Amino acid sequence: MKFKVLKSLGLIKSQSLDEILSLILCNPKSKECSYGECSNCEKKSLEFNLGEVNLEDTVNWKEWSMQTHEYNDKANNNERKTTKKNMKSEKTELLIDLVEAFTQEMFEFKKHAYNIHHQYIEHQRCIKNLDDNTVTIHIDFSENYATKLSTEFKQSILVHLEIKLPSILP
Protein backbone atom coordinates (compact mmCIF):
# COMPACT_ATOMS: atom_id res chain seq x y z
CA MET A 1 0.00 0.00 0.00
CA LYS A 2 1.33 3.41 -0.98
CA PHE A 3 0.70 4.90 2.46
CA LYS A 4 2.85 2.24 4.17
CA VAL A 5 5.70 2.65 1.68
CA LEU A 6 5.76 6.42 1.98
CA LYS A 7 5.55 6.16 5.75
CA SER A 8 8.38 3.63 5.96
CA LEU A 9 10.53 5.96 3.83
CA GLY A 10 9.80 8.78 6.25
CA LEU A 11 7.91 10.95 3.75
CA ILE A 12 4.70 10.78 5.77
CA LYS A 13 4.61 11.45 9.48
CA SER A 14 0.88 10.88 10.02
CA GLN A 15 -0.05 7.61 11.71
CA SER A 16 -3.17 6.93 9.68
CA LEU A 17 -5.20 8.00 6.67
CA ASP A 18 -7.73 9.54 9.07
CA GLU A 19 -4.99 11.68 10.53
CA ILE A 20 -4.08 12.85 7.01
CA LEU A 21 -7.72 13.78 6.36
CA SER A 22 -7.79 15.89 9.51
CA LEU A 23 -4.68 17.71 8.22
CA ILE A 24 -5.93 18.47 4.72
CA LEU A 25 -9.60 19.18 5.50
CA CYS A 26 -11.10 21.80 7.83
CA ASN A 27 -13.64 19.17 8.82
CA PRO A 28 -13.54 15.54 7.53
CA LYS A 29 -17.24 15.18 8.42
CA SER A 30 -18.24 18.03 6.09
CA LYS A 31 -19.42 17.12 2.62
CA GLU A 32 -18.14 20.40 1.13
CA CYS A 33 -14.62 19.82 2.46
CA SER A 34 -14.57 16.12 1.47
CA TYR A 35 -15.84 16.82 -2.04
CA GLY A 36 -13.38 19.63 -2.64
CA GLU A 37 -16.11 22.28 -2.63
CA CYS A 38 -14.76 24.26 0.31
CA SER A 39 -12.67 27.24 -0.80
CA ASN A 40 -10.68 27.06 2.41
CA CYS A 41 -9.28 23.53 1.96
CA GLU A 42 -9.94 22.47 -1.66
CA LYS A 43 -6.32 23.11 -2.66
CA LYS A 44 -4.73 21.71 0.48
CA SER A 45 -2.73 18.53 0.00
CA LEU A 46 -0.47 16.58 2.26
CA GLU A 47 2.99 17.98 2.76
CA PHE A 48 5.63 15.30 2.36
CA ASN A 49 8.82 15.22 4.32
CA LEU A 50 11.24 15.33 1.39
CA GLY A 51 14.37 16.28 3.33
CA GLU A 52 16.26 13.00 3.18
CA VAL A 53 15.02 11.30 0.04
CA ASN A 54 15.84 11.46 -3.62
CA LEU A 55 12.64 11.69 -5.64
CA GLU A 56 14.40 10.06 -8.61
CA ASP A 57 15.00 6.83 -6.65
CA THR A 58 12.93 3.80 -7.58
CA VAL A 59 10.79 2.10 -4.97
CA ASN A 60 9.27 -1.38 -4.88
CA TRP A 61 6.11 -2.36 -3.07
CA LYS A 62 3.21 -4.76 -3.28
CA GLU A 63 -0.31 -3.67 -3.97
CA TRP A 64 -3.73 -5.25 -4.46
CA SER A 65 -5.38 -4.42 -7.74
CA MET A 66 -7.90 -5.79 -10.22
CA GLN A 67 -6.08 -7.74 -12.89
CA THR A 68 -7.02 -9.85 -15.85
CA HIS A 69 -6.55 -13.49 -14.97
CA GLU A 70 -6.43 -16.25 -17.62
CA TYR A 71 -7.66 -19.74 -16.90
CA ASN A 72 -8.80 -22.98 -18.60
CA ASP A 73 -12.53 -23.48 -18.40
CA LYS A 74 -12.87 -27.19 -17.47
CA ALA A 75 -16.60 -27.23 -18.17
CA ASN A 76 -15.94 -25.98 -21.68
CA ASN A 77 -13.22 -28.17 -23.26
CA ASN A 78 -10.53 -26.30 -21.37
CA GLU A 79 -11.25 -23.25 -23.40
CA ARG A 80 -8.97 -20.33 -22.50
CA LYS A 81 -10.94 -17.65 -20.71
CA THR A 82 -10.20 -14.48 -18.84
CA THR A 83 -11.71 -13.04 -15.71
CA LYS A 84 -11.00 -10.12 -13.38
CA LYS A 85 -9.32 -11.00 -10.14
CA ASN A 86 -8.10 -8.99 -7.18
CA MET A 87 -4.40 -9.88 -6.99
CA LYS A 88 -1.33 -8.68 -5.18
CA SER A 89 1.40 -7.57 -7.50
CA GLU A 90 4.88 -6.16 -7.33
CA LYS A 91 5.12 -2.49 -8.28
CA THR A 92 8.18 -0.48 -9.17
CA GLU A 93 8.00 3.24 -9.65
CA LEU A 94 10.00 6.39 -9.24
CA LEU A 95 9.45 7.90 -5.81
CA ILE A 96 8.17 11.11 -7.39
CA ASP A 97 5.47 9.15 -9.26
CA LEU A 98 4.50 7.34 -6.09
CA VAL A 99 4.10 10.65 -4.26
CA GLU A 100 1.96 11.98 -7.09
CA ALA A 101 -0.18 8.85 -7.26
CA PHE A 102 -0.73 8.92 -3.51
CA THR A 103 -1.76 12.58 -3.63
CA GLN A 104 -4.27 11.72 -6.35
CA GLU A 105 -5.59 8.77 -4.35
CA MET A 106 -6.09 10.93 -1.27
CA PHE A 107 -8.26 13.18 -3.40
CA GLU A 108 -10.55 10.20 -4.10
CA PHE A 109 -10.15 8.80 -0.61
CA LYS A 110 -11.49 11.90 1.12
CA LYS A 111 -14.76 11.53 -0.82
CA HIS A 112 -14.84 7.81 -0.14
CA ALA A 113 -14.23 8.31 3.60
CA TYR A 114 -17.05 10.86 3.75
CA ASN A 115 -19.43 8.50 1.89
CA ILE A 116 -18.65 5.61 4.26
CA HIS A 117 -19.20 7.81 7.30
CA HIS A 118 -22.37 9.28 5.87
CA GLN A 119 -23.74 5.79 5.04
CA TYR A 120 -22.99 4.65 8.57
CA ILE A 121 -24.88 7.59 10.06
CA GLU A 122 -27.84 6.99 7.71
CA HIS A 123 -27.79 3.29 8.52
CA GLN A 124 -27.87 3.96 12.26
CA ARG A 125 -30.75 6.39 11.79
CA CYS A 126 -32.56 3.78 9.71
CA ILE A 127 -32.16 1.06 12.35
CA LYS A 128 -33.36 3.32 15.15
CA ASN A 129 -36.64 4.00 13.37
CA LEU A 130 -37.48 0.39 12.52
CA ASP A 131 -40.59 -1.36 13.73
CA ASP A 132 -40.53 -5.05 14.69
CA ASN A 133 -41.62 -6.29 11.26
CA THR A 134 -38.95 -4.57 9.22
CA VAL A 135 -35.48 -5.66 8.28
CA THR A 136 -32.75 -3.61 6.66
CA ILE A 137 -30.20 -4.98 4.25
CA HIS A 138 -27.00 -3.03 4.01
CA ILE A 139 -25.07 -3.60 0.80
CA ASP A 140 -21.66 -2.04 0.46
CA PHE A 141 -20.75 -1.59 -3.18
CA SER A 142 -17.07 -1.09 -2.69
CA GLU A 143 -15.76 1.51 -5.07
CA ASN A 144 -13.02 -0.87 -6.16
CA TYR A 145 -15.38 -3.67 -6.91
CA ALA A 146 -15.53 -4.43 -10.61
CA THR A 147 -19.11 -5.22 -11.35
CA LYS A 148 -21.36 -5.35 -14.33
CA LEU A 149 -24.15 -3.68 -12.40
CA SER A 150 -24.80 -0.22 -13.70
CA THR A 151 -24.48 2.70 -11.35
CA GLU A 152 -28.14 3.41 -11.87
CA PHE A 153 -29.05 -0.08 -10.73
CA LYS A 154 -26.83 0.16 -7.66
CA GLN A 155 -28.47 3.42 -6.73
CA SER A 156 -31.92 1.94 -7.10
CA ILE A 157 -30.94 -0.84 -4.69
CA LEU A 158 -29.54 1.64 -2.20
CA VAL A 159 -32.78 3.61 -2.34
CA HIS A 160 -34.71 0.43 -1.57
CA LEU A 161 -32.55 -0.64 1.35
CA GLU A 162 -35.62 -1.18 3.46
CA ILE A 163 -37.55 -4.28 2.55
CA LYS A 164 -40.64 -5.27 4.47
CA LEU A 165 -40.25 -8.86 5.75
CA PRO A 166 -43.76 -10.11 4.83
CA SER A 167 -43.16 -9.18 1.20
CA ILE A 168 -40.09 -11.41 0.85
CA LEU A 169 -41.20 -14.35 2.99
CA PRO A 170 -43.77 -16.89 1.74
CB-CB contact of 70 with 81 (8 Å): yes
Q: Which residue number, 35 or 71, has a Cβ lying nearer to Zn ion? A: 35
Q: CB 151 → Zn ion: shortest distance, Å?
A: 27
Specify which residues 169 forms β-bridges with. none
Residue 35 Cβ, how far from Zn ion at the closest point, in Å?
Answer: 10
Helix axis angle, 17-24 to 95-128, nearest 10°? 90
Q: Is 23 in the site for Zn ion (CB under 5 A)?
A: no
Query: Can you tell me which of 6, 33, 98, 106 binds Zn ion, judged by CB under 5 A?
Result: 33
Confirm or reject binding of residue 26 to Zn ion (CB under 5 A).
Answer: yes
Residue 87 found at the interface with Zn ion (CB under 5 A): no
Kindly tell me which of 35 and 145 has the beta carbon lying closer to Zn ion.
35
* Residues within the interface to Zn ion (CB under 5 A): 26, 33, 38, 40-41
